[in-house]
Amino acid sequence: MNQSDTLAIVKPDAFGAGKAGKILAHLESAGFRVVATRVVRLSRTQAEAFYAVHRERPFFGSLVAFMTSGPCMPVLLRREDAVAELRRVIGATDPAEADEGTVRALYAESKERNAIHASDSPENAGIESAFFFAGTDRLLA
């Protein structure tokens, strides 16, 4: 079995609405193991750094404002083919287009307030995981 790690973030909308536990339970029932988690309130500087890849996109400012609007919960997850499986389990960015039973179909409010972030590639999973959980790979391998 080839286990890999990926990063999810329960975003401020879902965290503030008390949906973090349900989302984590959903992910665990889909075969993910929670390796590490924490609750943070991102500063503007942190959110801008984390989402720097989107800096030139028209939604960058509103994304940063949203991600700094309240606490969120980064979660380091592990399972076989973690990145692809997490993307499948969370569903499309727009909950109206997300498959039934996916995290976003169940818990997202809108395309912008979509409950959860997930790394989009193994490379980004490593970068994003290190942003929140630097050094965890040595402790939890």
Catalytic residue numbers read 117
Q: Do β-strands 73-80 and 116-118 pair in parallel, antiparallel, or remain unpaired?
A: unpaired
Q: What are the structure tokens assigned to 126, written together?
A: 């490593």
Rounded distance between C-alpha atoms, residue 136 and residue 55, angstroms: 28
Are 105 and 4 a contacting pair, CB within 8 Å?
no
Pairing, β 33-37 against β 73-80: antiparallel
Alpha-helical segments (H) within the chain: 12-16, 20-29, 44-50, 60-67, 82-90, 103-107, 122-133, 136-139
